[in-house]
């Protein structure tokens, strides 16, 4: 076929050039045994792969990438797989959230710098989804997501285990003497018995739901377990579809509209999604210039009925959810709440994609006429303790604690917490409010998942498994409890949270969306005179850049120079 038959594409700024530059671009591609007709004219599809052996949730992505490639080839495109920084929640220290923004930068620059006409994002473990979407959004090519899928249900001594959720329970039982170390060892392999990410509605599953509810996946992709052969089939179909999206010039900015973000907020409330959803959705919105604020999560999400009976807020696991009908059933139940004037990557809206869905188990997915909770969404509370807001996952909280007044027991940092929480002499009872400082974006740094502080041993020994807890940090989406998170501004900036002292009275009223520190403004002003920030000890490298530029939680905790879109044009040559 002659060059005149080829449509001019972005990739042809590389492979279609004449002279020395074109020679170099084509010749070094040929060293892999690829004939020129594969990349000289066909749509070149980048497959952004977060495979890594230190990201166990994504360790099956080599196979998944091959399925995508097969689909791309079938549709007449040319796939090129490339790696980016992979963030494994279970191994990275101090927290994967510290590196979400760095990973997004590697994604953005990798896409822009290379000859891609479109990209497929392979996502799974918690931060791999938002970081890849953030990076791709700042380039604005046709983009589609394949989520790697959850593990199969864990099985242990006649009962089912939920990833993460049962870890917190087992740890409490071990501390209270109800579980032995030998039983803990046995449960480890029983919980994680297949490929995939957490099998609860933790952050990884929440991010998969987010991607689909934003319109970035083919219908149903987010629900399929990783070990199910249908995941590979959908990856193949995704590869075919992305080639069509190049022809249609369906870029990511045409999908990520304000109504799409509001749809995602509503779906997240219905499934009892992770509080981490807020940070990530805010950051993604800012990359495409959408005016999304913390208030939108409250206005559009807090009143949505909670429908999904899934751990940590319920009984079942992701495998059961898929068999019950998955995300498309949720969207069908929410049809009156979702905006119809949006498109998804297949060119249809969420209503069209879910029209034929059927609910095969109403104990797993409740109909909207009979919800688990009439108002189960994440709620934003404000007050003098957190003037820019804090969030609580109502579906995972103890109802009797949603209105509470108690004496503060303060931990100045995570080391202070670990040193004293199980001290028999700690002055604490179940009516107290546990307060953890200096675990926000700057203060840790990286905003770790420690907000769901394990209760003191002497409290657990009473058979009590929940107390009110407040911090400027996060908690795992697999966790549960009456936990106020993301308090903003964070304590490392000298906010009111930094000034709380042992014995102060803190009052919360979730229905009224208030949290109040019963200390006068005058007293807080006096305390502020004596406040000194902690020395974080970082004076170079990425972590210093992060500390110097990271935004607060209510802004999405992106770095202040990253919001916005730089596009895909690269004007200068490399030779």
pLDDT computed for residue 7 by the predictor? 58
Least confident of 112-116, 182-186, 284-288, 539-543: 182-186
For the domain made up of 379-534, the CATH class stated in words is alpha beta
Alpha carbon distances (Å) from 483 to 4, 31, 279, 448, 495: 63, 56, 16, 14, 19
Backbone phi, psi, residue 64, to 5°: -65, -40
Q: What percent of the chain has pLDDT over 70?
A: 99
559/534 Cα distance (integer angstroms):
21
Q: Is the pLDDT of residue 3 over 90?
A: no
253/568 Cα distance (integer angstroms):
12
Residue bearing tokens 């394949």: 146
6/36 Cα distance (integer angstroms):
13
For residue 433, give the nearest of 488, 515, 378 by alpha carbon.
Answer: 515
Q: Which two tokens stand for residue 406?
A: 């108690």
The overall average pLDDT reported for the chain is: 94
pLDDT computed for residue 216 by the predictor? 98
pLDDT, tens digit (0-9, with 9 covering 90-100), for 102-156: 999 999 999 999 999 999 999 999 999 999 999 999 999 999 999 999 999 999 9
Q: Is the pLDDT of residue 1 over 70?
A: no
Looking only at Cα atoms, what is the longest distance across the chain? 83
Q: What is residue 242's three-state secondary structure?
A: helix
What's the pTM? 0.96
Q: Which two tokens stand for residue 221?
A: 């992709």
What residues contact 129, with CB distance under 8 A and at least 6 apart?
121, 123, 145, 147, 204, 207, 208, 210, 211, 280
What residues contact 188, with CB distance under 8 A and at least 6 apart?
none
CB atoms within 10 A of CB 353: 21
Strand locations in 132-218, DSSP E? Answer: 143-147, 154-156, 159-161
pLDDT, tens digit (0-9, with 9 covering 90-100), for 363-410: 999 999 999 999 878 999 999 999 999 999 999 999 999 999 999 999
**Domain ranges for the chain:** 42-152+194-354, 154-193, 379-534
pLDDT computed for residue 36 by the predictor? 86
Q: In what order do the strands lie in the sheet with 44-49?
A: 78-83, 44-49, 118-123, 143-147
pLDDT, tens digit (0-9, with 9 covering 90-100), for 26-80: 999 999 999 988 888 899 999 999 999 999 999 999 999 999 999 999 999 999 9
Distance of CA 178 to the CA centre of its chain: 33
Q: Is the pLDDT of residue 191 over 50?
A: yes
Least confident of 35-49, 425-439, 491-505: 35-49
Distance of CA 286 to the CA centre of its chain: 16
Q: What is residue 550's three-state secondary structure?
A: strand
270/83 Cα distance (integer angstroms):
34
Q: Is the pLDDT of residue 420 over 80?
A: yes
* DSSP per position, 421-468: TT-TT----TTSEEEE-S-STTTTTS--S-SSPPPPHHHHTTT----E
For residues 441-468, give the mean pLDDT: 95
pLDDT computed for residue 373 by the predictor? 92
Decide which of 3.20.20.140, 3.40.50.2300, 3.10.105.10, 3.40.50.150 is the CATH code for 42-152+194-354.
3.40.50.2300
């Amino acid at each position: 076929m002659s060059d005149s038959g080829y449509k001019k594409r972005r990739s042809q700024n590389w492979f279609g050039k004449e002279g020395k530059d074109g020679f170099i671009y084509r010749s070094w591609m040929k060293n892999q045994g690829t004939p020129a007709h594969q990349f000289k004219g066909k749509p070149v599809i980048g497959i952004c792969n977060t495979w890594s052996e230190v990201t166990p949730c994504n360790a099956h992505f080599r196979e998944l990438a091959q399925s995508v490639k097969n689909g791309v080839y079938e549709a007449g495109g040319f796939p090129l797989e490339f790696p980016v920084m992979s963030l494994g929640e279970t191994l990275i220290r101090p927290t994967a959230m510290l590196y979400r923004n760095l990973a997004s930068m590697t994604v953005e620059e990798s896409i822009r710098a290379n000859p891609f006409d479109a990209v497929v994002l392979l996502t799974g473990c918690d931060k791999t989804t938002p970081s890849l979407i953030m990076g791709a959004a700042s380039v604005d090519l046709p983009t589609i997501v394949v989520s790697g899928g959850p593990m199969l249900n864990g099985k242990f001594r006649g009962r089912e285990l939920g990833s993460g959720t049962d870890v917190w329970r087992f740890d409490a039982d071990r501390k209270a003497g109800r579980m032995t170390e030998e039983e803990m060892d046995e449960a480890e392999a029983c919980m994680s018995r297949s490929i995939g990410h957490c099998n609860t509605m933790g952050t990884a599953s929440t991010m998969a739901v987010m991607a689909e509810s934003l319109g970035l996946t083919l219908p149903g992709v987010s629900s399929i377990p990783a070990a199910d052969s249908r995941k590979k089939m959908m990856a193949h179909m995704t590869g075919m579809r992305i080639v069509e999206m190049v022809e249609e010039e369906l870029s990511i900015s045409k999908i990520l509209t304000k109504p799409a973000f509001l749809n995602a907020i509503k779906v997240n409330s219905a499934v009892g999604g992770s509080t981490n959803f807020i940070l990530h959705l805010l950051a993604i919105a800012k990359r495409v210039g959408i005016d999304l604020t913390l208030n939108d999560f409250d206005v559009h999400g807090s009143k949505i009925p909670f429908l999904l009976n899934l751990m940590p807020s319920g009984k079942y696991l992701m495998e059961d959810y898929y068999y019950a009908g998955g995300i498309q059933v949720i969207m069908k139940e929410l049809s009156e709440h979702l905006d119809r004037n949006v498109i998804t990557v297949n060119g249809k809206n969420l209503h069209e994609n879910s029209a034929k869905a059927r609910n095969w188990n109403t104990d797993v997915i409740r109909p909207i006429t009979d919800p688990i909770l009439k108002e189960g969404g994440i709620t934003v509370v404000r007050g003098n303790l957190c003037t820019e807001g804090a969030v609580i996952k109502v579906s995972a909280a103890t109802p009797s604690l949603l209105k509470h007044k108690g004496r503060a027991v303060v931990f100045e940092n995570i080391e202070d917490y670990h040193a004293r929480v199980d001290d028999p002499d700690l002055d604490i009872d179940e009516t107290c409010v546990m307060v953890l400082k200096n675990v926000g974006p700057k203060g840790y740094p990286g905003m770790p998942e420690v907000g769901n502080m394990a209760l003191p041993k002497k409290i657990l020994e009473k058979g009590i498994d929940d107390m009110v807890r407040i911090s400027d940090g996060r908690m795992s989406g697999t966790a549960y409890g009456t936990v106020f998170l993301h308090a903003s501004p964070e304590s490392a900036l000298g906010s009111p949270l930094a000034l709380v002292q042992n014995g102060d009275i803190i009052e919360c009223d979730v229905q009224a969306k208030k949290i109040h520190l019963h200390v006068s403004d005058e007293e807080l002003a006096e305390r502020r005179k004596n406040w000194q920030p902690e020395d974080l000890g970082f004076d170079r490298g990425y972590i210093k850049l992060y500390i110097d530029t990271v935004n607060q939680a209510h802004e999405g905790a992106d770095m202040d120079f990253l919001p916005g879109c730089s596009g895909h044009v690269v004007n200068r040559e490399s030779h």
